[in-house]
């Protein structure tokens, strides 16, 4: 078992108890996590191909054209796992631009679905390289809305080092668990703001059955 399998299982756990909602995992690791959840704890999870179809174990099982996604977003029965170029202590996310707004040094993806997602339904983040470049004191542009800016459903952040949530009185980020072999200091050293560290656990390792499923879902080990 490798670290990335722990990350996939942690992404699967994002959907624990979700029931019949639309899962929108952006990127390979969140996708493997959502598929693993569907095969284990959450058989009613709906998985979109990101274009027009809902996918089941045996192929297409429903039609969800792009415009319909907005209805689901507004209705709230969705959990998106987005990426983040920058993320701050209250879960403000930036995928739009780096640097001064009038003269950015990098133009990134834009706002995309981030504002609507974060005000309408549960949102988590996957950060493949936990670093001070991503975990910043202040994001350059707010794409996804954080807990200090109003109504918002940031749930968890899964990184290559740990799992974080926002279960603190002021909705700021808290360390939930470090992955096996990772120290709390390693997380703090790579985070550009103070973290609530409370009673930090170790992220669970996937079971043998889950490891077999992950191998089936990703036989070529693209996850590595
Ligand atoms: C930086 C930093 C940084 C990057 N600091 N520099 C530099 C300094 C880096 C590179 C350069 C480029 C509902 C919905 C939608 C929809 C609908 C429906 C969504 C509304 C669907 C379609 C739509 C949003 C989904 C995601 C994003 C997933 C990732 C990426 C990434 C990396 C964002 C993390 N901090 N960072 N630089 N989308 N993608 O040195 O410099 O900038 O950097 O939900 O869409 O529209 O809405 O991004 O960046 O969740 O997670 O992987 O662009 O690849 O290439 O690293 O090399 O050029 O010099 P990236 P990268 P250089 S929901």
Instruction: Give the CATH number, domain containing residue 58.
Output: 3.40.1080.10
- Residue 222, in any domain of the structure: no
- The token pair at 207 is 């079971």
Ligand 1 atom nearest residue 106's Cα:
42
Is the C-beta atom of 133 inside 6 A of ligand 1? yes
Residue 16 contacts residue 41 (beta carbons within 8 Å): yes
**How many helices (H) and strands (E) would you count in the chain?**
6, 14
- Residue 195, in any domain of the structure: yes
Its domain, for residue 164, covers 3-217
- Residue 224, in any domain of the structure: no
How much distance in Å is there from the Cα of 28 to the middle of ligand 1?
14
Tens of pLDDT along the chain (224 residues) come to 899 999 999 999 999 999 999 999 999 999 999 999 999 999 999 998 878 899 888 889 899 998 899 999 999 999 999 999 999 999 999 999 999 989 999 999 999 999 999 999 999 999 999 999 999 999 999 999 999 998 678 999 999 999 999 999 999 999 999 999 999 999 999 999 999 998 899 999 999 999 999 999 999 999 99
Closest by CA position to 130, among listed 76, 64, 58, 203: 203
Residue 219, Cβ neighbours under 10 Å: how many? 8
Residue nearest to atom 58 of ligand 1 (CA): 106
- Label residue 6 exposed, middle or buried (CB < 10 Å: 0-12, 13-18, 19+): buried
Structural domain total, the chain? 1
How much distance in Å is there from the Cα of 129 to the middle of ligand 1?
13
State pTM to two decimals: 0.96
How much distance in Å is there from the Cα of 208 to the middle of ligand 1?
33
ipTM > 0.90, yes or no: yes
């Amino acid at each position: 078992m490798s670290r990335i399998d722990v990350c996939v299982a942690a992404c699967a756990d994002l959907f624990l108890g979700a029931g019949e909602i639309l899962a929108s995992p952006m990127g390979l690791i969140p996708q493997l996590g959502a598929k693993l959840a569907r095969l284990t704890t959450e058989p009613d999870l709906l998985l979109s191909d990101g274009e027009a179809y809902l996918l089941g174990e045996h192929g297409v099982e429903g039609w969800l054209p792009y415009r319909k996604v907005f209805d689901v977003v507004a209705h709230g029965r969705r959990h998106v796992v987005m990426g983040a170029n920058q993320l701050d202590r209250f879960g403000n996310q930036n995928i739009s631009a780096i640097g001064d707004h009038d003269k950015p040094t990098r133009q990134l993806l834009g706002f995309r679905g981030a504002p609507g997602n974060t005000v309408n339904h549960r949102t988590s983040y996957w950060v493949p390289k936990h670093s001070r470049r991503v975990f910043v004191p202040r994001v350059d542009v707010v794409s996804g809305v954080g807990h200090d800016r109003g109504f918002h459903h940031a749930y968890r952040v899964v990184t290559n080092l740990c799992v974080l949530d926002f279960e603190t009185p002021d909705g700021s980020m808290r360390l939930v668990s470090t992955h096996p072999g990772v120290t709390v200091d390693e997380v703090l050293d790579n985070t550009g703001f103070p973290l609530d560290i409370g009673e930090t656990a170790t992220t669970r390792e996937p079971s043998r059955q889950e490891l077999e499923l992950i191998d089936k879902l990703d036989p070529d080990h693209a996850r590595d």
